[in-house]
Structure 1
Amino acid sequence: MESKRQQKFAGLLQEELAAIFQREGAAYLPNTLVTITKVRVSPDLAVAKVYLSFLNTNNTSLSLATVNSHSSEIRYKLGSRIRHQARVIPTLTFFVDDTNEYVEHMDKIFDKIAKERTQEQRDEEANEQ
């Protein structure tokens, strides 16, 4: 469980990273919208795990690799934005947040189950007549 301090710092990082990606994200990933969905910070605030979601991209792993290759530049920009609010600028590690894909997958499964149930009900009604 994260402490209040970690949660507060993670919120700050999420906000500032979102601003960086909004303004300068096109330089890293043209025509791709990057959303910071979650930030987890280590207890010593030295390491931050940043979870990203990509829109308008065909290859999320390539997009993630591109962002990871620019992580030192992103960390530098983050440092210039939060230098008066933090002693240490955390090391950034980026991960893909596949929650949306998981939700879509589960929705498809539930739709399939619902269709099978309605088909079974129709079959039972036809047999009763």
Structure 2
Amino acid sequence: MESKRQQKFAGLLQEELAAIFQREGASYLPNTLVTITKVRVSPDLAVAKVYLSFLNTNNTSLSVATVNAHASEIRYKLGSRIRHQARVIPTLSFFVDDTNEYVEHMDKIFDKIAKERKDTDEPTDADQ
């Protein structure tokens, strides 16, 4: 369970990182839209796990590796934006947020189950 302090700081980081990726994300990943879906912060506010979602990319693992390669540069830009609001600029780790893919997978499974039920519930000619 995150404290209110962690939640507020995570919200600030999410907002500022979104602005950084909106303005300068094309230099890291051209023709790719990056969305920060969630930020988790350690209790001491020194480490932040940033979960990203990508649009217009074929290889999400390569995209997140590219962003992680630029993590120190992104941290520097974040530090210049929040230097008056935070005492410590956290170390950033980027991860792929695959909840959308999981939801789509579960929807397909539920559709398949519903279709199978519908097929078994329909009366056949022998039943009439």
User: 1:85 is matched with which residue?
Assistant: 85
SS at structure 1 position matched to 2:54: strand
Report 1:66-105 matches (<5 A). 66-105=66-105
TM-score in terms of structure 2 length: 0.98
User: 1:113 is matched with which residue?
Assistant: 113
- How big is the alpha-carbon RMSD for the aligned residues of Structure 1 and Structure 2? 0.8
2:39 counterpart of 1:7: no
TM-score in terms of structure 1 length: 0.97
Report 1:37-52 matches (<5 A). 37-52=37-52
Q: Which runs of 5+ in 2 are unaligned?
A: none
Q: Distance in 2 between matches of 1:126 and 1:116?
A: 18
1:23-77 Cα deviation digits (max 9, x unpaired): 1000000110100000000000000000000111000000000000000000000
Q: Distance in 1 between matches of 2:52 and 2:4?
A: 23
Runs of 4+ in structure 1 displaced over 3 angstroms? 124-127
User: 1:65 is matched with which residue?
Assistant: 65
User: 2:126 is matched with which residue?
Assistant: 127
1:125 deviation in Å?
4.5
1:101-125 Cα deviation digits (max 9, x unpaired): 0000000001111111111112x34
Q: Distance in 1 between matches of 2:125 and 2:109?
A: 26
1:64-104 Cα deviation digits (max 9, x unpaired): 00000000000000000000000100000000000000000
Percent identity, aligned pairs only, is 88
Q: Which runs of 5+ in 1 are unaligned?
A: none
